[in-house]
A and B are shown apart, each in its own frame.
Chain A
Amino acid sequence: MSAGEMVCTACSCLCDDIEIEIENGRIVSMEKACRKGTAFFFGSENERLRTVHLVDGKQVDTDQALAAAAGLLSRARRPLVFGMDNASLEAQRQGIELARMLGAVLDDSSSFCQGKLTHDILTGTLPSCTFDQIHDSDLIIYWGSNPHNAQPRHLSRFSLYAHRKYHEMGATRYVTMAVVDVRESETAGAGVAHRFFRILPGEDSNFIAAIIEGIKGNPVRKDASGFLKLLKQSRHCVIFAGLGLTYSLDNDFSLFYEMLKHLGGWMKTFVIPMSGHYNVRGFNYSLYNATGCVNKVNFAGGAVSHGDEFSLLEQVKNRAADCLLIVGADPFSSLPISVLKHLDGVPLITLDPFRTATTEASSVVLGVSLTGLESGGTAMRMDGTTVTLMPAKWTDKQSDVQILERLKELLRP
């Protein structure tokens, strides 16, 4: 039996205190992991949920699968590489180089998730902080996010309950947690949040506009007035911005940023996007370093161009791509079927450790190891901290890094 600590790659918290015991090549115990992480890693032990190499539904060996993938990509005139949010930084670098070599369009889920916020953090226009710096805050706000379900250990390991000044039974509260959401989620209710501001779906911009009016001294709606009172009592606030906020604002954060600017009159405010996939922030970082853009790039003609037309959604809707290489992503589970139907007849090549709706729709599937458990590397936590991943278990499957390296070799001119 072997026992040790590992990093959980089930979400972008990248919890690095998971205690795991392996016996005869199987996990026999896992301590400290949340329900999501536990299901993720124990699920990886079920071979029927894992991928094998497939070409047109028939099981093949690695060389055959790679040859089929290389053949499709070399014949494609407008290839698109998508994903890598569930891939190590090393795999992302390989994937970016491959996309550049192919003259492909490259995008990830951040183009329809938190890419705008991460871009603004990387360019220095949006103040952000690491989890370690949360201890300086006196106000924590979850806005349009429910970590109870999406990042289950977020509160206990990194924010409210981990805060040095948090005392459950203390008479004085030194740190306050508030939730702004359309639904009384598990995080907003059940005695978790100190304050809950419930707004109607799509009403975030009106709520923010009211807060700004309140700062200017104008009379505002009652909930905005209560929220502003909370802000005025704070000197250091961290806002965990969730997809609820991004989608309500339809990715236009101008009003939100205007509010932050006004708040700067008396307090420091930092924003951390509540990323989902374990290394989506890493992808934005890797691509930004390589191109100056966080997503939606086109390497056609040897140059780098960037624009909304290079998002996966626009590429698919416009039938612009004639072959997709999907790495560590499952768009067939997460995107509208009305969009995905435009992929009928387009060959898909997918690298994933798990069988997914996307692998089921793919012409070529490359089964890879599960990063964090079966292969190592590095990844970037949602707060921008780089975390080292060490494999806890042996596998005969190749990693996504190895597969992408071999694909590059096969496609090298």
Chain B
Amino acid sequence: MKLTIVTYRDIFLWSERYKENGQPAAALVRLSPKDLADLGIAAGEKLKLTNEEGSIVVDVLAEPKCPSGYGYMPVSPLVNRLTTCRHGKLPNFKHIEVKAEALES
């Protein structure tokens, strides 16, 4: 399934980064229940997100008000494995196109 990832700032970015082994909650994506059903996975299972820049594995959370086709991820170095920046543009932190695949649990 194709998804557009939109990043957002999470308080843990600051509250956890000043702890050892910080940022435990970076590896998650929030999706609509419809997209979870279409992917055949449940909240708490893992999803692989891939694009030309790289590939990451994240936990899935259901966000009832997330529009279908989009996913919300907290800003972190992890999601930055998928981001890019075209000439003269801002980085695509709010519009990261990926292919999402459910991982066998």
Contact = CB atoms under 8 A, between A and B. Distances in A.
Contacts of A40: 14, 18
Chain A contact surface mostly: helix
Nearest to A201: B6
A334 interface: yes
A185 B85 CA distance: 26
A150 interface: yes
Contacts of A152: 11
A201 B91 contact: no
A44 B14 CA distance: 12
B89 A250 contact: yes
B53 A36 contact: no
Interface string A324-362: 000000001111111100000000000000100100000
A244 interface: yes
A338 B20 contact: no
Contact of B70 (A146, A201, A246, A317): A201
B53 A338 contact: yes
Interface of A: 10-11, 35-36, 38-40, 42-44, 46, 48-49, 112, 146, 148-150, 152, 182-185, 198, 200-202, 243-244, 246-248, 250-251, 308, 313-314, 317, 332-339, 354, 357
21 contacts: A36-B15, A39-B15, A39-B17, A46-B19, A48-B20, A146-B9, A149-B10, A150-B9, A200-B70, A202-B95, A244-B94, A250-B89, A250-B90, A251-B90, A333-B80, A334-B77, A334-B80, A336-B85, A336-B91, A337-B77, A338-B54
Given A36-B11, A149-B13, A339-B85, 4 more contacts: A35-B14, A150-B9, A201-B6, A243-B9
